[in-house]
Amino acid sequence: MAMRAAVAGASGYAGGEILRLLLGHPEIEIGALTGNSNAGQRLGALQPQLFPLADRVLEPTSAEVLAGHDVVFLALPHGQSAAVAEELGDGTLVVDCGADFRLADAGDWERYYGSPHAGTWPYGLPELPGARAALRGARRIAVPGCYPTAVSLALFPAYAAGLAEPEAVIVAASGTSGAGKAAKPHLLGSEVMGSMSPYGVGGVHRHTPEMIQNLSAVAGTRISVSFTPTLAPMPRGILATCSARAKPGVTGAALRETYEKALAGEPFVRLLPEGRWPATSAVYGANTALLQVALDEAAGRIVVVSAIDNLTKGTAGGAVQSMNIALGLPEELGLSTIGVAP
């Protein structure tokens, strides 16, 4: 019998994508949908792409409404998840798409988010060493940030194998849906179409400590990260260009072999054949990460580029994948590896 899932924050981009995926999930039935400012409205007016749910009405986000579901997805502004989760017992699997339970270091949390640390939950990036095991049977899941997903998948094999020096330099381009659905002047179509711009430069973006945490864990040593996010004129997608000095003696062949081994058997990550580089269009709406690696011998650097859909593998797809693992379902259930392209 199908399990029932509720989605808190169903009117936003993450919530909409979660619902798109759950509608195609054979073991999930969609329960309560909640919003705050949009409570009382029909979903058809807010998420016109979710045809089968057009007549569903949003309820206010509250523990009463969310209670009694097998799974609750939280797609709420940072800082609101802990209070909701507390009222939902261990009978409910809570999958938090917010940042609240991602960082283990309370100091990092407070420095970057400016509020008290809520704790740490099993981390929903199954491809990282040890992560899949921690997710099995879990009742709470912290879904990674979209940039940390793209970056950690790109660099963990190199750091796990000790091929790279501990200073990573990352420049990533994101589609505008990563900035959410709140109407802000700099996110208007007139402003973003035809334009690239950086933001959060110089180490201040909140996803920086999450990348450091992930890469340091696999490396077994502190990795520093210089991270520059940029806004690209497209609705979806992250292209992350990640590099680090190669350790002495690393060869291109060894690099490639390391990545092939580290990613072997992963259903949602693909190292492209040599000579081909990933494009975000190829993963549009898919739960896939595409990777390619190169050794720049003149500059002495390993360069890895990864492409994901920030809303799918970067948020909702990663959430459903982790949910599947936690519930003991086949990991790929309800998830597609096929992009909608062109």
Q: State the CB neighbour count (10 A cutoff) for residue 89.
A: 10
Q: Which of 99, 74, 80 is nearest to 149 (CA)?
A: 99
Site for a copy of itself in 236-275 (CB under 8 A): 236-237, 239, 241, 243, 245, 270, 272-273
Instruction: Determine which helix (DSSP H) or strand (DSSP E) holds 207, and give its type and residue range.
Output: none
Q: Sketch the per residue contact string, 188 through 227, with a copy of itself: x for CB under 8 A, - otherwise.
A: xxxxxxxxxxxx-xxx----x---------------xxx-
Does 41 participate in binding a copy of itself (rule CB under 8 A)?
A: no
Q: State the CB neighbour count (10 A cutoff) for residue 273.
A: 7
Judge whether 78 and 210 are in contact, CB under 8 Å.
no
Q: What is the DSSP string of 298-340?
A: TTTEEEEEEEE-TTIIIIIHHHHHHHHHHHTS-TTTT------
Whichever of 181 and 261 has its CB closer to a copy of itself, that residue is 181
Site for a copy of itself in 283-322 (CB under 8 A): 283-286, 288, 290, 292, 294-301, 303, 305, 307
Does 233 participate in binding a copy of itself (rule CB under 8 A)?
A: yes
Does 107 participate in binding a copy of itself (rule CB under 8 A)?
A: no
Judge whether 153 and 318 are in contact, CB under 8 Å.
no
- Rounded least distance, CB 169 to a copy of itself, Å: 5
In the residue annotation, 242 being an active-site residue is answered as no
Cα 33 to its chain centre, rounded Å, is: 21
- Rounded least distance, CB 239 to a copy of itself, Å: 4
Count of chain residues binding a copy of itself (CB under 8 A): 94
Among 36, 41, 216, 230, binds a copy of itself (CB under 8 A): 230
Among 35, 157, 175, 334, binds a copy of itself (CB under 8 A): 175
Judge whether 125 and 102 are in contact, CB under 8 Å.
no
* Three-state DSSP state, 90: coil
**Looking at the annotation, which residues are catalytic?**
146
